[in-house]
A and B are shown apart, each in its own frame.
Chain A
Amino acid sequence: MGRKNDRNRQSRLQRKRNKRAAARAARRQTTGGQAASPWDSPQDAATAHCIVLCGGLLAGCGQLTGEMLRTARMVHEVVGGILGRLPIELNAFLYDEREWSLTCADLGSLRDSFEELGAEEVFDRLWALALTNEPDPTAFAIAQEQDCAHRAALAFEELRVCLDDPKIKPVKAMRAVSAEIEKHGPRGTGLPKAYASLLHTAIAAVHASAAEMENVLGALAGDCRKVFDRYSRGQSDTAWWQCGRLFLTEVLGRLQRIGAINTTQADAMTAYADLVTLLLDAPHAAVLMARTTGSTQSLHSVHFKTTAVDWRIYLEREIDARSLTFEDRIRYEIARLKLLRAQAQRRTSEDHSEARDLLAAFEALQKLLAHGVPPASREIPGFVELPLIDFYRETIQELHCEGLALPATERLLGRRPDDFRLACLYATGAVERGELAKLSVLASQAPRRHIDPELFAHSALTWSGLPRGMKAAAMIRPALFDPLDREHRKQCLIQLSQHCLRRATTVAGYTEELRSLLPYFERDSFVYRDLRERAAVESSLVFLATMMAPLHTLKLSLTEDQSQQWVSYAREISQQSAFGSQLALHHLKAASRWFTLDPGIRNSACARLSDFQPAAAPRQIPPPRTDHAHNRRRKRRRAKEPTDSQRGLFDATDA
């Protein structure tokens, strides 16, 4: 109950609290200083739990799921009766759109329990809900304790009565709505006036004659658009705004029922679509448009990134998954997986509850695909298996939940032991959970399919930062890195080097980052050998070798060609990031004792140090991209030019 504008109500509540505190103090004196606690007995504790759960539900703690739902069921068993039912009932009312069935007679005896724990406001809300079940329609209107939601519901309900009877003037209800707007809305704007105008248009629309009907929808859509465009961002978290939205939805429904929506008229349909989009959430709007127009276009390509929560709740609430055909069930589970992923991507907290839900959904889908596939659909598991593993790999990497996902990864790896990507995720998960013994699984079969150097680099740097990371790296290397062919090992080193450059901000920090490459870039690395033997080496590896040389106390002397490669790569990274520029200038201005460039090339580069400044608007070095389109592009390019000696530092990420 975030808003406390009603001073009188607050004063009343404060007086009650003071009275209760005094009563507690008196009790303390009679019990020799021992305070009565709500946790004195299991029954009291369970009662307090019920009230806390109700308070949490009404205070923004979100839907009761998982552990919280189990707690609610447990306290229901202990407390029993109406009080025990309350959290579950309230949860279903708020989040499953169930009816509220409890009456004032049911709740009357519970008031003291709530007041004893200082939860009067929670009780007042439950009481307001119970008042809606009273046979006397005035009971809701004359209730004493009315908060914003109560007042707004009352005002818009009175407006709804005006929709039924054109003779009733909406003066009192309009005044009540204006009062709510003034309490919560921005001061000194035209919102009260604009909203009143919108409400008048809405009421007039319902009562319009057949002749006027053609223009009614357009006018309503126009007014609605004006108010929503300007104020919805600031007002959508107020009760009056949401009650008003429901009122306007009711108006739209009435217009539809009286046949004011002419689906053959382009203008009418445009206005209708506009209103539907403004007033309904994305899933309801898309389904309604599909039903009204008879075309499934609105459901064909749904952009769900920003509306994933709405869509997931809608699908879970509307569709009984058990009754679906096998193919629709798979479609349902895939949609749910994608929605859960989008939802998890938008979370900023460290809480992994979304990741847990996602993993559970993934495992459920895997079970469906493994068992009981009807003969007519037997090809489907084969079609979706690889894309699902791609999806899994990207999601786990993105959400950084390799440890949490270890059991699921283990099962997948058991079925596909040759999959390099799964092996990387598995290794990271095992190291994250400190279960290094599990790494022996990787030794039994070297994974050789779906080699992903970017994922390897990401994983290697993750486990190098974990406790016992270097030991783990030494254990993983023989299973994951050594069996790779030379080209893939090169790619892995290039990716590792790029990650180090992205993570470092200072030259000293960069050296520290490079230490995590030591298990893969050893003193007898093929890169050093190639340089010595003057074989063709990628520019990025020439540069990396010179940076690694101090860690191996090796001295490198680059040929003219190799020096040219070093300089061109240094120029490239300079233009791409401020740190790249800092690193290049550091090594150009003061010659390193660990490597020497060809004097002619070096002098030429030093004469043009301005080339090593970052570009005017340096590109933010993006995090590694993991989308499918990117992977496809990367794979294509790799196939086309596998030994491009001038590959840019961020080619793989900036493509």
Chain B
Amino acid sequence: MPLTREQALAALGLSATPDADAAAVQRVFERLARRYPQPSFPERFRQLLEAREALLDTGRSWRGLVEGVTLDLTWTLPHVRPSSLSAPLDRRMSLQSMLRAGYLAELLAAPAAGGLEGDDEGDIPF
């Protein structure tokens, strides 16, 4: 079972500094790993390793969220409405959707601010 952050901090003796950054975690890990080398303290070493992974992985995933060239949007799924495919539209809504789609499509082709033409003097230049 993966360690909680609190457990991982405790394993590294960092309970007093809960905001420890990645560099601090790594530093403490290296110090403890020298004190409890794997051949002599296999269990303790494993705990240190797990604690480090638990602390650094969380940070890595958050950093990846900002740095990544793609977006992980899996978290959105519980928050978005069911797709429009799942509900049939009545005539009124269908016509309105089509008019909306039609108007917006033509906006793509129309030059900005110049789609609706004006005519002679005194008119608002649509």
A596 to chain B, nearest CB (A): 49
**Distance of A386 Cα from B85 Cα, bound (Å):** 42
Q: Are A287 and B70 also in contact (CB < 8 A) when A37-B122, A51-B124, A153-B99 are?
A: no
Closest Cβ–Cβ distance, residue A341 to chain B (whole Å): 11
Query: Cβ of A241 < 8 Å from any Cβ of B?
Result: yes
Distance in angstroms between the alpha carbons of A635 and B71 in the assembled complex: 25
Decide if B91 is an interface residue (CB 8 Å cutoff).
yes
Is the pair A59, B67 in contact by a Cβ cutoff of 8 Å? Answer: no
Chain B contact residue count (CB 8 A cutoff): 65
Q: Is B1 positioned at the interface, with any CB of A under 8 Å from its CB?
A: no
- Cross-chain contact A160 with B74 (CB below 8 angstroms): no
Contact of B59 with A118 in the complex, beta carbons under 8 Å: no
The residues in B between 55 and 88 inclusive whose CB is less than 8 angstroms from any CB of A are 58-59, 62-63, 65-77, 79-86, 88
A: interface residue count bin: 35 or more
Specify which of B75, B108, B116 is in contact with A331 (CB 8 Å cutoff): B75
The reply to whether the CB of A469 lies closer than 8 angstroms to some CB of chain B is no
> Which residue in B5, B71, B102, B118 is a CB contact (below 8 Å) of A335?
B71
Q: How far is the CB of A165 from chain B (nearest CB, A)?
A: 13
Give 1 or 0 for each of B8-37: 1 = CB within 8 Å of chain A CB: 000000000011010000000000000000
**Is residue A623 contacting chain B, with contact meaning CB distance below 8 A?**
no
Q: Are A296 and B94 within 8 A (Cβ)? A: no
Cβ A128 vs Cβ B99 within 8 A: yes
Determine the distance from Cα of A291 to Cα of B82 in the docked complex, in whole angstroms: 8
Is there contact, CB below 8 Å, between A304 and B66?
no
What are the interface flags for A106-144 relative to B under an 8 Å C-beta threshold, 1 for contact and 0 otherwise? 000000000001110110010011001100010010000
With A37-B122, A299-B73, A628-B67 as given contacts, are A379 and B59 in contact (CB-CB < 8 Å)? Answer: yes
Residue of A nearest to B9 (CB): A379
Q: Bound complex: CA of A60 vs CA of B69, how far in Å?
A: 31
Q: Which of B71, B93, B99, B124 contacts A304 (CB 8 A)?
A: B71
CB-CB contacts below 8 Å: A432-476 with B: none
Interchain CB contact under 8 A, A58 and B115: yes
Cα–Cα, bound, A48→B125 (Å): 11
- Contact, CB under 8 Å: A93 / B100: yes
Scan B90-122; emit 1 where CB is below 8 A from any A CB, else 0.
011111111111111111111111111011111
Scoring A residues 232 to 252 as 1 if CB is less than 8 Å from chain B, else 0, what string do you get?
000011111111011001101
Question: B97 and A125: CB pair below 8 A?
Answer: no
B112: chain A residues within 8 A (beta carbon)? 59-62
List chain B residues, Cβ under 8 A from A125: 99, 103
C-alpha gap A2/B109 in the complex (Å):
7
Contacts of B67 in A (CB 8 A): 387, 390-391, 628
| B positions within 8 Å CB-CB of A | 5, 18-19, 21, 58-59, 62-63, 65-77, 79-86, 88-89, 91-116, 118-124, 126
